[in-house]
Structure 1
Amino acid sequence: MSVQKKKKKLKRLREHVEGCFSDDVKRNFESCTYIRKLLANDDKMPTDQIIASGVVKRLVDFCRADLPADLQLEAAWALTNIVSGDAEHTASVIRENGIPALVNLLETTKSNDVFEQALWALGNISGDSAECRNLVLNAGALDKLIPRLHSLQKSGNEKHLELLGTGCWVLSNFCRGKPPPPPPMIAKCIAGLLSFLVIRNDAILQDAAWGRR
């Protein structure tokens, strides 16, 4: 990418950070979408610069229950991209209380897309370290996640299979890492994973079996 193009992108980043802090929900959505796309760009707009802009706090704010689902989806997606980076990137989301905000979405959102995106973010955070995993567990993720996964399974809707697969992967991540989670947490995870063993899907069965090891 040329120097000129990079400067243009950086200028637009500042513009969209301001858009995220606007009181206009439509502008919030447009700016949040721009930042989310930057974080997934093949040209790799530096995540460090996006974090340094101070916008992570606002992305976490957008996960509130009283905001539109499309804005919540973009925010949770952007946060997922951030925590897909290194340990410091994950820490930047944790510092802004991203874990409780994402855990809350598991219970409050009526959108399966938002629910799944929050799952991806929490699964990535949990996979960063045992300490991060325990922060997610202590925020009540299991108590909000397992009932909803059971409800999706009972629906028998094949359209939910991919979503259930994501949920199974997250539960499996909750069991991994050293030192392991406290025994009561492991027991809850295993109880949740057992229900996936009846699903005829190789990827789901693999995650369920791996989590029970």
Structure 2
Amino acid sequence: MQVQRRKSFKTNRLFDFDQLFQNRQRRNVEIRRQLREEIISKHRNLSPLKEKSFSNEPKLIVRNLKIENLSEIAQGIYSNHVEKQLISMRKFRKLLAEERVPPIQQIIDTGVIPKFVEFLQSNSQLLKIESSWALTNILAGNIEHIKVVIDSGALPIFVQLLQNENSNEIKEHAIWAIGNISSDEMFCDMVFCSGALESLLNILNQIDENSSLIPTLARTICNLCRVKVSEDEWYWLSLALSRMIYSDDDDVLYSTCWALSYLSDREIDCNQQKHSIINTGICPRLVELMIHKNFNVQFPALKCVKNISAGSHDQTQAILHCQALKILRDLLVSTKCSIRKEACLIVSTIAKRAVNQIQAIVDAGIIPLLINLIRNSDFKTKKEAIWAICNIIKYSYSQPNSFRQIINLGCIQPMIDMLDCKDTEIILTILEVIQIILKFGEFAKTPNNRDNEYSLYIEEIGGKEKIYDLQYHKKDEIYHIAYDIIDKYFGDGFEEGFEEVNNFTFRHNNNNNNNPFTGFQFFKTTYSF
């Protein structure tokens, strides 16, 4: 998404494509992990089984079970009697479901996992439910735990349950299990090769929109969207998501919006995939979700809109046709800083990708709001507001009337004020845009007025001194561009009072320090249930 933008303002300035992508991935999971414990707890304590089915058994109090009793419980697993197997299986399941820190490794060490997998094909429905439930919770553990279950042959059996099982309870556990397997990207290819995607989509096509299976399907499909998929898989995934995006369930919308944001966030050779999303007709719905009352739905919807608008001109237009600018205007005054920041990113992208719409951005009243954010918001939001303003100015240069109108809205003052910040990327970007403004001022001179109105204004508000001081900056690019601005547009004014200016030696620092701004810290997007 950011390729062109990076070329515009961040070229060769310590930005690495792979690192940026990994940062976004890590950031995404940091947000999603806030709900992970709640999701796992919810599933571990699901009660699809009726307790009256075991009315002849004494009530099991799991908290009184000790880890040292696991070997004794395991003996029942190896019994030849289904009733004893069921009692032991149920004890293991409750240990996994009700313990705050479930003893997954201790249970694995008893060697019962192959028996759990064997029970998935049992003639007893209750034994199937208990074993699938227990395995699903084991798969919510770490990578090593997942490997043990996979090595025991569970994945193809879970896929068979999706295809052949009539019980929705067992299907749901199978879907959860596959979702947990695909929570780590290293296992996703294995899931695709098993035919699980086709089985999941078949289930989605067979159930109605109110089915209890849809939230679990949405979460599992979301995990599968985090990796690179084939063109055919893209097509089928986008169709499935285009159905779930109209759900009224916040959990379904949460997973669906994140899935779409992953699918649209492939920056290399991704236009075809983005067109695939657009062709499903979901852009109006995504724009609508930008103002959803639930932040956990709103935020990934914004990311998806940002990714789509960063595609081709037609993709950006598809977003604009949904009245996105009107909504963005409201989001720029949101009380949540992450929402304001994402809104700035979308405005910046639109300015770059749809140059013919810059006047629409002006008419929507967005620029004064961006200026206000630069003056009064947190630093991260200020940074994105600066990118947005700079893109708007740069790409309106070919439209003199719009360009002058934008500048006259008061863009110069906040940019000059931001030259005091410590972020070299912001300083360099502002200097580049100031050059563009001053160049426009030179061309705008008339025979009756030989002054550059913008250089006069910048000098009046103290910008000349700040730019002059930046000639001493330790970053080569900054002091070279600052020198160029002073030399071309303010040279005469600074020659007075500086007798040795012509002999001035600029300080060169060959040890270019890395930009202190390292970007957002994102985690790999993991989704265990």
Q: Structures share a fold, TM > 0.5?
A: yes
1:36 shift after superposition: 1.0
Does the CA-based 8 Å contact 1:59-1:75 persist in structure 2? yes
Does 1:93 find its partner at 2:153?
A: no
- Deviation by residue 1:168-213 (Cα, 9 ceiling, x = unmatched): 1111111114xx2333323222222222123222321232222122
Between the two proteins, the alignment pairs up a number of residues equal to: 199
User: Structure 1: how far apart are the matches of 2:189 and 2:125?
Assistant: 28
Q: Quick check: 1:151 aligned with 2:206?
A: yes
Normalised by the length of structure 1, the TM-score is 0.85
CA shift in 2, pair 1:23/1:175, >3 Å: same
1:38 counterpart residue number: 95
Does structure 1 conserve the Cα–Cα contact (< 8 Å) formed by 2:67 and 2:103?
Answer: no
Tell me which amino acid in the other structure corresponds to 2:182: S
Matched, 1:21 2:78: yes
Q: Is the 8 A contact 1:171 1:211 kept in 2?
A: yes
1:125 aligns to what? Answer: 181
Residue 192 (str. 1) matches residue 240 (str. 2): yes
Equivalence for 2:445 = none
Please report the TM-score for the alignment, with normalisation by the length of structure 2. 0.36
Residue in 1 aligned with 2:216?
A: 166
Q: Which has the higher contact order (CA 8 A, sep 6+)?
A: 2
CA distance in 2, matches of 1:45, 1:202: 28
CA contact (8 A) 1:60 1:97 kept: yes
SS at match of 2:207: helix
CA–CA distance in structure 2, aligned partners of residues 45 and 125 of structure 1: 18
Question: Separation in 1 of the partners of 2:151 and 2:86?
Answer: 23
Task: Report the secondary structure of 1:27's partner residue.
Answer: helix
Contact 2:165/2:171 (<8 A) preserved: yes
Query: Aligned to 1:47, which of 89, 92, 104?
Result: 104
Could you say which residue in structure 2 is the equivalent of 1:207?
255
2:194 aligned residue: 139
Moved beyond 3 Å, runs of 4+: none
Q: Residue 291 of structure 2 corresponds to which residue in structure 1? A: none
In structure 1, the gaps of 5 or more residues are 1-5
Richer in helix (by share) = 1
Cα contact 2:138–2:145 (8 A) shared by 1? yes
How far is 1:45 from its partner? 5.1
Deviation at 1:120, TM superposition (A): 1.0
Offset of 1:43 from its aligned partner?
5.8
Distance in 2 between residues matched to 1:173 and 1:45, nearest whole Å: 23
Task: Identify the match of residue 109 of structure 1 among 165, 168, 191.
Answer: 165
Task: Find the aligned partners of 1:125 and 1:183 in 2 and give their Cα distance.
Answer: 23
> For residue 194 of structure 2, what is the amino acid of its counterpart?
A
Q: State the Cα distance separating 1:73 from its structure 2 match.
A: 1.2
Q: 163-172 or 187-196: which moved more?
A: 187-196
User: Would the aligned equivalents of 2:76 and 2:85 in 1 still touch at CA under 8 Å?
Assistant: yes
The one-letter code of the counterpart of 1:196 is: M
Q: Distance in 2 between matches of 1:23 and 1:184?
A: 46
| Deviation at residue 91 of structure 1 after TM alignment | 0.8
Alpha-carbon distance in structure 2 between the residues aligned to 1:44 and 1:169: 23
Q: CA deviation at 1:106?
A: 0.9
Report SS of the residue matched to 2:79: coil
Tell me the amino acid that sits aligned with residue 138 of structure 1.
C
RMSD (Å) for aligned C-alpha atoms: 2.1
Counterpart of 1:3 in structure 2 is none
Rounded Cα–Cα distance in structure 1 between residues aligned with 2:98 and 2:247:
35
Which residue of 2 is the match for residue 80 of structure 1?
A: 136
Aligned AA (2:87) = E
What SS does the corresponding residue of 1:127 show, helix, strand or coil?
Answer: coil
For the pair 1:69 / 2:125, whether they are aligned, the reply is yes
Tell me the secondary structure at the aligned position of residue 100 of structure 1.
helix
In structure 1, the residue corresponding to 2:245 is in which secondary structure? helix
Offset at 1:17? 1.5
* CA gap 1:190/1:21 in 2 versus in 1, 3 angstroms: farther
Contact in 2 for aligned 1:19/1:27 (Cα 8 Å): yes
Deviation, 1:133, is 1.3
The 3 A distance-change label for structure 1 pair 23 and 167 is same
Aligned to 1:12, what secondary structure does the other structure show?
helix
Change (3 A) 1:43 1:175: closer
> Any idea what the Cα deviations from partners look like across 1:4-43, whole Å, max 9, x if unmatched?
xx9x734532122221122211111111111111123436
SS of structure 1 residue aligned to 2:221: helix
Whether the 8 Å CA contact 1:106–1:115 is kept in 2: the answer is yes
Given that residues 22 and 28 in structure 1 are in contact (C-alpha distance below 8 angstroms), is that contact kept between their aligned partners in structure 2? yes
- Which sections of structure 2, spanning at least 5 residues, go unmatched? 1-62, 262-529
Structure 1 Cα separation of the partners of residues 238 and 167 of structure 2: 26
Deviation (angstroms), 1:150:
1.4
Aligned to 1:212, the other structure's residue is in SS state: helix
